Structure 1
Amino acid sequence: MYDPVRLAALVAVAEAGSITRAAGRLGYTPPALSQQLAKLEREAGTALLVRHHRGARLTGAGEVLVARARRVLDELERARHELARLTGLSGGTLRLGTFQTAGIHLLPPVLSAFRREHPDVELSVTDYEPPAGVAAVAAGEIDLALTHTYQPAPAVPLPSSVGAEPVLVEELVLVTAPGHALTSGTSRLPLADLAGQPLISMAPGHPARQGVEAALARAGATPSVLVATPGYVLVCALVSAGLGVGVVPEMVARTAATPVGVRLLEPGELRRTISVVHRTDGTAPAADAFRALLRGAFGRARHT
């Protein structure tokens, strides 16, 4: 069965004539939209688009699928409006909290899907550096918060009024300046090979990272530059400039604004878990609907 989100992506490209323009309309980054389209082509078992220097056009198979997709999406839209009236999602506000990486790379496509399904719900998004979003949900300031934890690290108990649902688990990977010898290989790099390497470090100003950086210190990585604020954009920029190496979440590395080399580490035990935090005392239809969209969008992307 074809994923309606991917069908909508194909229709958007057909209408825009370009993956870049379609991504802008849908709230995706172009690489993220390209991934959705590639998955749809695998599901269809054939090419649906032909990319060219001016954009993209449908193949014959793509034209067939787009025609059917428009009908399917129209019917789904009618069903969504009818269900929204029944479930109380025809108005109100959904208040979301997020941290920077999730706000840039995870939240936009899910928010776009939520907006399409529930256009009458007012959306509010506030930046909370973890774990501040957990406290904001517990205090009733927001309905949901995207937050993160790192491994290895001691478990931090949640307030009794909230629960956390994992959305995505990603490895931490090595980033270096382009062409660096440590990222020239294709196999996993043993953590011990970081011994003596100057490390662009996010501790001590990033408590969630302290367990990870303790593991790096045991491997012999030597702190070179401390980035006290939680800014992976700055870490990658300093790494790109050759001031040291870094260990960052894979999503950060693959979408870095500055050019970096990337390599998986061995063993793959340094990880970040992104979760959605919600209140457990009561029914919130808009929050429940948003969590369901998160599960649909990223459930298959989890890895352990």
Structure 2
Amino acid sequence: MYDPTRLAALVAVAEAGSITRAAERLGYTPPALSQQLAKLEREAGTALLVRHHRGARLTGAGEVLVARARRVLDELERARHELARLTGLSGGTLRLGTFQTAGIHLLPPVLSAFRRAYPHVELSVADCEPPAGIAAVAAGEIDLALTHTYEPAEEVPLPSSVRAEPVLVEELVLVTAPGHTLAGGSARLPLTELAGQPLISMAPDHPARQGVEAALARAGATPSVLVATPGYALVCALVSAGLGVGVVPEMVARTTATPVGVRALEGGQLRRTISVAHRADEVAPAADAFRALLRGAFTRARHA
């Protein structure tokens, strides 16, 4: 049986005319989407696409499968709408909170999928830098919040009414100015190599980062510039200008608008966990449906 996610990927490539444009539409990276298409071709037992310098086109077998795939996906969409009516998702409001990185790079494709599945649910999105989102969920001001924690760090207990479900764990990586000596090489960099390096810091005014920056201090990194607001875009801009080095989540490093060198750190012990916070023991069909879409999106990202 063909995976509907891979069928949707093939349809997207057929409509977009290239894997790159289809990946942007679906919220994948081009390599991840290529892997999904390769798996579909193995399932089909034949080539479905021909890649060329301008993009990709369907083979004869691909055209047959796309025609059938559109029918299958249409039926699944109808089923989602019918189930939505049965489960109370034909109206109402879903209130979301998110921090900036997740709001820009993770939330849009999941919101798009939710809108396609439940078009009659009204959506609102609030800017909630951690830990404010958890407090807002506990107070009933929003239904769900994307939040994060860092390692190493002291564990902060959640309010008894709130649960946090981890959806993605990412390493923190070194960012430097382009051409910096520490950016060269593919091997993981020992933290001790940061001794004496000027560090663009986000502590002490960023509580979640304090444990991470304590580890960097023990390795000898020297605070140079303090960015007191939780703005990784500013950290990367200062790093790019040569004012120091930074240690940021990998997602931030790969998507920053300013050019930086990126290098993985030895041990992989500096991490950020992104979670979705929700109220426990509450019947909330829209929130439950959104959490299910989040789990599916991040599961695909981990296994792509």
Same fold, judged at TM 0.5 (above): yes
Q: What is the rounded CA distance, in whole Å, between the counterparts of 1:49 and 1:232 in structure 2?
A: 40
Q: Does 1:97 align with 2:93?
A: no
In the TM superposition, what is the alpha-carbon distance from 1:166 to its structure 2 partner? 0.1
Aligned-CA RMSD value: 2.0
Q: Does 1:192 align with 2:192?
A: yes
Instruction: Describe the shift of the 1:218–1:181 C-alpha distance in structure 2 as closer, same or farther (beyond 3 A).
Output: same
Contact 2:236 2:246 survives alignment (8 Å) = yes
Cross-structure match for 1:283: 283
SS of 1:266 mapped into structure 2: coil
Q: What is the rounded CA distance, in whole Å, between the counterparts of 1:12 and 1:42 in structure 2?
A: 15
Cross-structure match for 1:260: 260
Q: What is the rounded CA distance, in whole Å, between the counterparts of 2:174 and 2:152 in structure 1?
A: 16
SS of 2:163 mapped into structure 1: strand
Q: What is the rounded CA distance, in whole Å, between the counterparts of 2:59 and 2:252 in structure 1?
A: 33
Seq. identity, %: 83
Q: What is the rounded CA distance, in whole Å, between the counterparts of 1:34 and 1:17 in structure 2?
A: 13
Cross-structure match for 2:152: 152
SS of 2:283 mapped into structure 1: coil
Cross-structure match for 1:122: 122
The unaligned stretches of length 5 or more in structure 1 are: none
SS of 2:136 mapped into structure 1: helix
Cross-structure match for 1:52: 53
The unaligned stretches of length 5 or more in structure 2 are: none
Contact 2:19 2:34 survives alignment (8 Å) = no
Cα-to-partner distance string for 1:166-201 (whole Å, 9 max, x where unaligned): 000000001111121112111111110100111111
Instruction: Describe the shift of the 1:173–1:59 C-alpha distance in structure 2 as closer, same or farther (beyond 3 A).
Output: farther
Residues 16-165 of structure 1: matches in 2 within 5 Å? 16-18=16-18, 22=22, 26=25, 28=27, 32-44=28-40, 45=42, 46=47, 48=49, 50-53=51-54, 55-165=55-165
- How many residues were matched structurally? 298
Q: What is the rounded CA distance, in whole Å, between the counterparts of 1:193 and 1:62 in structure 2?
A: 51
Contact 1:6 1:36 survives alignment (8 Å) = no
SS of 2:273 mapped into structure 1: strand
Q: What is the rounded CA distance, in whole Å, between the counterparts of 2:128 and 2:275 in structure 1?
A: 13
> Could you tell me the TM-score, scaled by structure 1's length?
0.91
2:98 alignment partner AA: T
Contact 1:9 1:33 survives alignment (8 Å) = no
Instruction: Describe the shift of the 1:64–1:199 C-alpha distance in structure 2 as closer, same or farther (beyond 3 A).
Output: farther
Between 294-303 and 190-199, the greater mean CA deviation after superposition: 294-303
> Could you tell me the TM-score, scaled by structure 2's length?
0.91
In the TM superposition, what is the alpha-carbon distance from 1:6 to its structure 2 partner? 4.3
Cross-structure match for 1:270: 270
In the TM superposition, what is the alpha-carbon distance from 1:134 to its structure 2 partner? 0.2
SS of 1:102 mapped into structure 2: helix
Cross-structure match for 1:216: 216
